[in-house]
Amino acid sequence: MVDHNPDQLPVAVIGAGPIGLAAAAHLSERGVPFVVVEAGDTPAAAVRAWSHVQLFSPWEYNTDPAARRLLAAVDWQEPEASDLPTGGDLVKQYLQPLAELPALAPHIRYGATVTAISRLGIDRLRTAGREAVPFVIRLADGEDLLAKAVIDASGTWRQPNSVGANGLPAHGEQDAAAWISHGLPDVFGADRAQHAGHHTVVVGAGHSAANTLLALAELADAEPGTTITWAIRAADPIASFGGGSDDELPARGALGSGLQMLVDTGRVTLAANFRTHSIRCLGDDPNRDQVELISLNPDGTEQIVTADRIVAATGFRPDFGITDELRLELDPIMSAPRALAPLIDPNQHSCGTVTPHGYRELAHPEPGYFAVGMKSYGRAPTFLMLTGYEQVRSIAAALAGDLESAQSVELQLPETGVCSVVGGGEALALRLGLTKEQHEQLLHVTAKYLGTSSTAADAVLSAATELGIDHTAALQLAAYAADQFDAPGATGC
């Protein structure tokens, strides 16, 4: 007979990504029974989809304290805190070993897609005694799991935003789906043929767009005929350039600096004030024919960009469809828990200025249900993994009855502020595949050419040629650390 007493049931964690596994680690440490249900066949299925991408935050911001403690007990080799991992590194060196620990592995179910969550025997209308009734988690195969609480770390990866500027799919977007990639395509690997020697338009103004634009620029150095357009809704891209060398995460600052370099040197064509209204296919074959992106101007005229490929770096949004029978209180703008929304509003905050928060801010009128990680942020793009780790630490403490610890939410996040340009340059050099020695040589040889070059950018390129360093990588370093060359206009503008 199944025990329907919630106190005797496990906590259900949805998703075996970084935040879901961290939740499992904290619950395990506190002796709280749990089960993790993961739709994929492996842990961190979404992270594996962007395994080629290097994070802009180092290892110290990408691992959870409870997870590290559990791993340390089995002689885990912890990565160097200051190194920048790729998604693949994150899986291989951290998430896969974590999921295989004896404390977690027996409690993880793969290939288990959640289709709905409710309460046993009652729907959303029933109020009396609701908190004493177990949760029902229905799986795609029809099985129902019972749980005393739910930590929903299912993320947003399977719910990308549309190309359309108004939040709706652009007219014709569905018909053009074969021409559109979402997220972060692997332009040097599996997706190279789609972009090499072709014209790609990247739609979006965030970190994903910057990563893709920089990768395409490197591809263009190796593949003649590769051209790039960057379509943004804003009139000016300055907000996308970020804090540059003042950013406490050097690689995050480097994304913006590198992006500015691409625009200033003409390696990327900027289509500003571009609000995609419709997409028109110019044929039936996505391997040969092109598409047109059409933006409507306020005066009724059109901007048209013709491309071979579209990268929709427009972000993701949560899908709360599985919780229709639960009582959630979501902010009408952010689609985040109402108490959390003002703390993460991207109009006011970057990912480093978010106020620390825990189980209280993540709570809903449905007792015992918590959306965490990317899903908790709704439409806001300001999430850092370290924030999610603190969320689940607080929630696990609350579920274990340790309210003092649950309420003591503390988190030091890296934000745009003062940092070392030299140290940041070294971190960026490593990110670009250059050694510390190559970075120092580039600084030295560039200084030699500054007096005879018409622009700082020309000096950088001359130094890169002499040293055999990739031109795009060298210019990214120059854009990020311009003052190291005594040249505020290191991009040549």
pLDDT at 255: 57
pLDDT at 254: 53
Whole-angstrom distance, CA of residue 141 vs CA of residue 39 = 12
Q: Which are the contacts of 427, defined by CB distance < 8 A and separation ≥ 6?
A: 58, 82, 84, 250, 251, 254
On whether both 212 and 302 belong to a single domain, the answer is yes
pLDDT digits (tens, 9 = 90+) for 178-228: 999 998 899 999 999 999 999 999 999 877 888 888 889 889 988 999 999
CATH number of the domain where residue 326 is located: 3.50.50.60
Whole-angstrom distance, CA of residue 37 vs CA of residue 108 = 6
Domain limit, last residue, from 407, 429, 453: 407
On whether both 326 and 286 belong to a single domain, the answer is no
pLDDT at 38: 98
pLDDT at 467: 86
pLDDT at 356: 77
What DSSP line would sit under 320-370, residue for residue? -GGGTTS---B-TTT-SBTTTHHHH-TTT--TTSPPP--HHHH--SSTTEE
> Is 28 part of a structural domain of the chain?
yes
Amino acid making up residue 196: A
User: Which tokens sit at 34?
Assistant: 């749990």
> Is 49 part of a structural domain of the chain?
yes
On whether both 206 and 280 belong to a single domain, the answer is yes
> Is 12 part of a structural domain of the chain?
yes
> Is 457 part of a structural domain of the chain?
yes
On whether both 217 and 308 belong to a single domain, the answer is yes
CATH number of the domain where residue 288 is located: 3.50.50
> Is 306 part of a structural domain of the chain?
yes
Q: Where are the alpha helices (DSSP H) in 54-104?
A: 65-72, 87-90, 96-99
pLDDT digits (tens, 9 = 90+) for 233-273: 888 777 666 544 444 444 454 556 667 777 888 889 999 99
Task: Output the CA angle 66-68-70, nearest 5 degrees.
Answer: 70
Give every residue of the chain whose pLDDT is below 70, as ranges. 1-4, 239-258, 348-354, 412-433, 436, 439-440, 443-444, 447, 450-451, 454-457, 475-493
User: Which tokens sit at 293?
Assistant: 């992106």
pLDDT at 410: 76
Whole-angstrom distance, CA of residue 213 vs CA of residue 362 = 35
On whether both 10 and 133 belong to a single domain, the answer is yes
On whether both 480 and 355 belong to a single domain, the answer is no
User: Which tokens sit at 347?
Assistant: 């109009």
Residues in the chain: 493
On whether both 394 and 435 belong to a single domain, the answer is no
Instruction: Tally the C-alpha atoms within 13 A of residue 297's C-alpha that lie toward its C-beta.
Output: 10
On whether both 49 and 110 belong to a single domain, the answer is yes
On whether both 292 and 357 belong to a single domain, the answer is no
Instruction: Find the domain containing 209 and state its range.
Output: 177-235+272-312
> Is 436 part of a structural domain of the chain?
yes
Count up the domains in the chain and report the number: 3
Whole-angstrom distance, CA of residue 180 vs CA of residue 164 = 12
Instruction: Tally the C-alpha atoms within 13 A of residue 29's C-alpha that lie toward its C-beta.
Output: 21
Instruction: Tell me, rounded to whole angstroms, the distance of Cα 33 from its chain centroid.
Output: 30
Q: Judge contact between 286 and 178, C-beta under 8 A.
A: yes
Number of Cβ within a 10 Å radius of residue 78: 13
On whether both 300 and 427 belong to a single domain, the answer is no
On whether both 25 and 40 belong to a single domain, the answer is yes
Domain limit, last residue, from 352, 376, 407: 407
